Amino acid sequence: MIDKIILENYRCYKDHSIKFSDLNIAVGKNNAGKSTLIEALRLTALVTNKYKQSFYQRSPSWANLPKRYYGISPSLKGISRNSKGIFYRYSDPPAKISVLFQNKSRIEISLGENDGEIYAALFNEKGNLIEGRKDAQNFDLPTINILPQIGPLKEGESLLNEDYVRASIFSNLSSIHFRNQLQYFEEYFSDFRKLAEGSWDGLSITKFEKGDIVYGNPPLLFITDNKFTAEIGLMGHGLQMWLQTMWFIARCDGESTVILDEPDVYLHADMQRKLIRFLKDRFKQIIIATHSVEIISDVEPENILVINKDKKESKLLTNLPEMQGIISTLGSIQNIELTKNWLLGRLLYFESDIDDPKIMQSIQNKLFPESTCSIDLIPKASSEGWTGWHRVVAASKAIEKIGIKTYCVFDSDFHLKEEVEKRYDEAKKFKVNIHIWNKKEIENYLIVPAVILRVLTKKHTKGNPTLQKIDDAINRLTVGMKDDVVDSYSNEIKLANKELELKTCNQKARKFVDGIWEDINKRLSIIPGKIILGKLSEWSMSEFGTSFSKIHLIQEMRVQEIDKEMIEVVTAIEKNQSFINPYR
């Protein structure tokens, strides 16, 4: 993954840094510097795609680098780049692009004043210079795939030379070579067909007819869209753009960084939202430059990267008001909450309006990757805890009249069985659609040792993570929580039975906890999930040099590892159906 890019003396940037996360929606006013950022990333992708087979040479004098440096000068042929105004306010060359990766490796790119003057020095994770092809073969940079600027397709293409088409795959010629690419990269065609047909309702790839240079036959792609069949050149521009995007995605590995420059052009608002939903969790890192309010509204504020060339650095947002301010800055009169309400007939209540929706959104992405009703978009409110039940009842009564269904999800915490059953009875009486987790809280469903092992195997920098070590850590960390769990149940018993002495309440609580404690699965249902995940993350940092988050776990979780209860709850929200309650 790209960690940071530093732009020096490069077009509109004097000395500017941009730090990235796993999902980055780059926005900004016109002339804020987004296009320059994309150009810099395009040059970075060129280097990462060429460094293993390129010839290494000493640094040229114009690059102002140490003479001992060895690096590469890849061809800029096919790269759309204006060589005019390349240096900040007509300063002296060179321009510098420094790219730092999360594994500590880096690339230093220098650009000269003459066309084609580019030089890149590469350094491994230890800071050692890559001096030739031999070094390069033992050095792996993260893969970067950038979607070239695409546009409507021509009504027809002539069959071109294969080497030429392959060499131009990431150039600005991509749209006019689309059918040629399908012919010469046929190993990706099956994945392309699955992606296209699975993401566009009523679409099927009818057939692809290969071109023939000898007979002068052009390559042809026939599409059926809602029972209408035609060659792709005769279809609408929105469908053409979507298929080109799916073709690009089909060729990208899930571990790569994927970059798209204004992919929303020609796409209807619904398809813009579908695109960002489609991309989430599919790739290790995503960078999208856009003006689309629909895309911006469908991600969390911390995923919005505000590009501003006039500041020292461009940063990610931190909250929803900042996000709304960005939309206003972009010139839209659209209100985010109105957008979410418009997306149809649902209101979600959670005890917490921060973590729980994020977790359920990530699970939804796993179960319904092509959903057009993202949990991110559905209006949400906080019940402010178990005792805020009256707020949920009042809201449900008010909005039921206009056809909006209220969903309310509560943690079971340490509530007694009688309390839970009473809450379900009240929900039935007031016609409120609620679900109370069988486990203490939603984080408990993420404590899956096999998933934790896969996360640590990918991220660890020391030690050797094993399933046994994780099981032992879980057992050790949870054993020390037993007394706190007993006390919490004792307090609940006392609240429900004020006439009982505290000693009696404690005895009842301990008897209940003792009855299930030796079964590790039952134990993991009643301990505080948030706390144990935090402790496990601290332990993994100490043992294996890396921590992990809840989102890391969900990203690594396979569908078959998602608890059936979570699947039932998310499916009900996705399909606008009632919860199966009480869930057993």
pLDDT band, residue 343 (cuts 50/70/90): very low
Mean pLDDT computed over every residue of the chain: 89
Closest CA to 248 of 261, 235, 236: 261
Q: Going by DSSP bridges, is the β-strand pair 433-436/228-231 parallel, antiparallel, or unpaired? A: unpaired
**Pair 271, 236: CB distance under 8 Å:** no
Taking the CA of residue 199 as centre, how many other CA atoms within 13 Å lie in the half-sphere pointing to its CB?
26
Which residue segments constitute the domains of the chain, with CATH numbers given? Answer: 1-143+253-329 (3.40.50.300), 149-251 (no CATH), 343-442 (3.40.50), 448-572 (no CATH)
Which residue carries 């006013």 as its tokens? 29
pLDDT band, residue 379 (cuts 50/70/90): confident
Which residue carries 């008001």 as its tokens? 321
Q: pTM for the full model?
A: 0.63
Which pLDDT belongs to residue 337? Answer: 47
Which helix (DSSP H) or strand (DSSP E) does residue 119 occupy?
A: strand 118-123
Mean pLDDT along residues 112-127: 93
**Confidence check: pLDDT of 541 > 70:** yes
In this structure, of 225-229, 382-386, 395-399, the range with the lowest mean pLDDT score is 395-399
Which two tokens mark 257? 């960084």
Question: Which DSSP category does 256 fall into?
Answer: S
Q: Which residues contact 50 (CB under 8 A, 6 or more apart)?
A: 72, 74
pLDDT band, residue 265 (cuts 50/70/90): confident
Q: What count of other Cβ atoms lies within 10 Å of the Cβ of residue 31?
A: 10
In DSSP notation, 398-424 reads: HHHTTTPEEEEEE--TT--HHHHHHHH
**Pair 153, 240: CB distance under 8 Å:** yes
Which pLDDT belongs to residue 8? Answer: 97
Which pLDDT belongs to residue 321? Answer: 58
Question: What distance in Å separates the CA atoms of residue 529 and residue 411, rounded to the nearest whole number?
Answer: 11
Question: What distance in Å separates the CA atoms of residue 447 and residue 522, rounded to the nearest whole number?
Answer: 12
Question: What distance in Å separates the CA atoms of residue 142 and residue 48, rounded to the nearest whole number?
Answer: 8
pLDDT band, residue 375 (cuts 50/70/90): confident
Which residue carries 């919490």 as its tokens? 488
Which two tokens mark 402? 């206009």
**Confidence check: pLDDT of 341 > 60:** no
Which pLDDT belongs to residue 402? Answer: 58
Question: What distance in Å separates the CA atoms of residue 506 and residue 488, rounded to the nearest whole number?
Answer: 9
Question: What distance in Å separates the CA atoms of residue 480 and residue 488, rounded to the nearest whole number?
Answer: 14
Which pLDDT belongs to residue 430? Answer: 86
**445-458 per-position pLDDT tens digit:** 999 999 999 999 98
Q: Which residue has the higher pLDDT, 351 or 437?
A: 437
Q: What residue type is 298 in one-letter code? A: D
pLDDT band, residue 299 (cuts 50/70/90): confident
pLDDT band, residue 82 (cuts 50/70/90): low
